[in-house]
Structures are given as C-alpha cells and as structure tokens.
C-alpha cells in the first residue's frame, strides 16, 4: 500500500468492527491518510459484504465504506485471533470496535488488557446505547436508534406516519462524530501520554444534530411535530414543484432574501403583506404563504426559475437525483465524485470523495474496499511474524 501524504499520515488504526457505523469512522480516518487495518472473520469477512446492491456478487457499498483499508482475517474467539489483536496494538494509536458491552472483555481483548500492552492506545467503542445505562445490554442497529433518538418522530408529513430516513442516517452521523471523538482523544493522548476509552452510542450523534427541540420542550413545553419539509422557526422553507414537473428547494430566511424572492417572482407586494413582512408572521401563516409561492413558482420551468431567482440573489437549488448529481458541472469541478480503480470489479468505480479540501495535504483514495483477507500475508506474516503453518492451522488463508 502506498504511503499517504494526507493530514493523518502516520496514524495507525485497527478496525475491529463490522457492518456500517464503526467502519465509517475508520473510513474517514483512512481518507485522511491513516493506515487502517480492518479485521474480518475468516470464511466470508464482514457480514456487510452481503448487504446492499451487488455487481458480480460484490457488494458495492462495502467498496466505499472500506476504501483505503488493509483487510486481514482474524477470529477473536481463537487464540490466534486474540494474539493478532494484541500484536497489532503494540504499535497502534487507535482501535475501533462495535460489539455489545462485555464482548471484547469476554474474548480477552478489553481495554485493561490492550492498554497494558500499549498505554498510549485509544479505544473507541460504538454500541447502540453506550457502555452504561439501563439500555446498555440491548442490541442496537441504526434503524431502531433513529426512532429512539427522536428523529423519526419529527420526520414526515403532518398527517402521515413517522418516516425512517432512506439511508443509514444514524450510522453516517456516528461515523463523522466518531472520527472527531477519536481525534480529540488522540490529541489529548499526545499531550498526556496516556490513552483512554471513548464510548459512543449510536443515537447520540444524531440526537445532537436535531436542533432546539430539547431546549424548547424544557423551557416552553413544546413537542415538535412532523411538518414535512417545513421548519418550525423559519419560513418560507420548502420544496416547490415547477411547471415542467421538476422540483426546487428554496429558503428565504431573512427579510431581505424574502423581499428579493418576491420581487423576482413578480409579486413584490407579497413581501409587504402584513402576514408575511416578518419571519414570525411567515411562520404563523406558512400554509397561505406556501400556497402563494407554489402558484408563482409553478409558472416557470425549473431552469428558467433558477436563472431568474439567482439573478436576484435569491437562494434556490434544484432537487437533484443522483443521476443529476453525476452530470453536474460544479460537482465535477470540485471533485466531489472520484473514480477509483478496482481490480476485483475489473475497472474504475465512482464514489463520493472525502469532504473538504486541504491546500497542502489532501486526502487520497488509493483503492476501494479490498477482498477479505487480501493483506493477510503482508500484515500477519511479514509484520506480525506468524508463520504460514500457523495461519493455515487456524483456517486463515495466507
């Protein structure tokens, strides 16, 4: 594997997790240059390899979430698997795991054991409900936690059922939050010389993203309800259908923006209407406001509408499908989608690029998620010193 010049080059991470949330944490770290060794069970690897849509029986989402990682097979229930982890942590900075509380301890891989080998090691533990508390023993997948955290309750049409997100929101938010927490713990480790355990519950990152609904309930007794695409504190904010059937997303949070929007749509009087002149009034009369805006927007095809509003410095964007995004010139110019060569699929595949841009040490994607155990020889034999006979005796292909 080529050495990265990314901002986390030199950081060594052991990914002892599976499925989605915790591997997403290590994906972000690998994107930024950390060396990530992913440990997968022998005889099939991470069960996530069987999830989602496939091409040539290869799971495509796995290719994204485990890009830039080295794949090594290890069964933590065996002495060789335990020894593999213990040898790896000698020179590691971080280990990420997502088993139920007590499982790593049962295998002899608790933090007490690993930190005795390497006192500078940080362990990031990801579970549904955290390591402690009344629910800590419960299993927790993202879908359940999206409901538990309060997101599902407020998501959907006002007169419709609560809706789950059509992607792994809990997993994705935990991935970003976990990467931040890991780096915070590592920065403190560099100052103090001692590692520690970071305990992340799947519901926590998403819960923290849900805006003011806790403080408003605490101080005002308000329970935020479902409002479709609207927000309870600003208007207008919605999606609107154009004459050609295409949709736009539009917000006019400030009074000045709303004035420019109404002028561009040919109805400047809408901005001086006493019901709509101030944001509080627009929120109180949002049904009438949206009806008026929908009628005005429905007179225009989407491309013409966007050109009209942008000329007036109003804030609008198309509601893009992924097909629209793949053809978007700004997405292409910014490099938000990258092409990655993949020998297993026999050619390049495109995926989202790492977020953000660095002027000196850009993140790099060296390869997509590898086959299970692709780096057994490099890591288990060449680095850790296991013999081929030891691996084969444990059912691991070198």
Regarding whether 107 and 61 lie in a shared domain, the answer is: yes
As annotated, the active-site residues are: 171
The number of folded domains in the chain is: 2
Same domain (yes/no): 91, 163: yes
**Could you tell me the residue range of the domain that residue 129 belongs to?**
12-208+333-393
In this structure, are 72 and 111 located in the same domain? yes
Pair 190, 277 in one domain: no
Backbone torsions φ then ψ of 240, nearest 5 degrees: -135, 140
Digit-coded pLDDT (tens) for 39-72: 999 988 999 999 999 999 999 999 999 999 999 9
pLDDT, residue 2, reads: 46
CB-CB neighbours of 169 under 10 Å: 21
Which CATH number goes with the domain that contains 249?
Answer: 3.30.1540.10
User: At 363, which CATH number?
Assistant: 3.40.50.10540
* Pair 378, 342 in one domain: yes
| The residue to which tokens 């995926």 are assigned | 351
User: 375 CB contacts (<8 Å, ≥6 apart)?
Assistant: 1, 37, 70, 71, 72
Question: Are 128 and 203 in a shared domain?
Answer: yes
What's the pTM value of the predicted model, to 2 decimals? 0.94
**pLDDT at residue 4 greater than cutoff 80:** no
pLDDT, tens only, 150-189: 999 999 999 999 999 999 999 999 999 999 999 999 999 9
């Amino acid at each position: 594997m080529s050495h990265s010049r990314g901002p986390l080059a030199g950081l060594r991470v052991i990914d002892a997790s599976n499925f989605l949330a915790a591997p997403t944490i290590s994906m972000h770290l690998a994107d930024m240059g950390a060396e990530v060794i992913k440990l997968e069970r022998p005889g099939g690897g991470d069960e996530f390899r069987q999830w989602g849509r496939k091409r040539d029986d290869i799971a495509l989402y796995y290719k994204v979430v485990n890009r830039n990682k080295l794949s090594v097979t290890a069964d933590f229930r065996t002495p060789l698997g335990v020894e593999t982890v213990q040898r790896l942590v000698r020179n590691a900075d971080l280990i990420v795991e997502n088993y139920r509380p007590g499982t790593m301890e049962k295998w002899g891989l608790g933090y007490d054991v690993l930190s005795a080998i390497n006192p500078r090691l940080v362990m990031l533990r990801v579970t549904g409900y955290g390591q402690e508390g009344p629910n800590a023993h419960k299993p927790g997948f993202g879908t359940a936690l999206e409901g538990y955290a309060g997101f599902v309750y407020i998501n959907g049409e006002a007169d419709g059922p609560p809706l789950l997100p059509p992607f792994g929101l809990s997993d994705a938010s935990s991935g970003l939050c976990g990467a931040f927490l890991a780096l915070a713990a590592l920065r403190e480790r560099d100052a103090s010389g001692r590692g520690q355990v970071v305990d992340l519950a799947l519901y926590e990152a998403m819960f923290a993203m849900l805006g003011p609904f806790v403080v408003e309930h605490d101080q005002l007794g308000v329970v935020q309800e479902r409002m479709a695409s609207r927000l309870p504190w600003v208007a207008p904010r919605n999606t609107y259908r154009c004459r050609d059937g295409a949709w736009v997303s539009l917000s006019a949070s400030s009074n000045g923006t709303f004035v420019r929007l109404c002028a561009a749509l040919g109805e400047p009087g809408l901005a001086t209407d006493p019901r709509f002149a101030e944001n509080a009034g627009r929120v109180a009369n949002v049904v009438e406001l949206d009806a008026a805006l929908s009628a005005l927007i429905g007179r225009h095809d989407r491309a013409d509408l966007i050109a009209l509003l942008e000329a007036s410095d109003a804030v609008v964007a198309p509601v893009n499908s992924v097909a629209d995004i793949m053809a978007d010139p700004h997405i292409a110019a910014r490099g938000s989608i990258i092409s990655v060569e993949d020998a297993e699929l026999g050619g390049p595949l495109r995926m989202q690029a790492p977020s953000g841009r660095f002027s000196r040490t850009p993140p790099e994607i060296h390869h997509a998620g590898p086959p299970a155990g692709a780096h057994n020889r490099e890591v288990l034999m060449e680095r850790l010193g296991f013999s081929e006979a030891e691996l084969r005796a444990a059912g691991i292909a070198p």
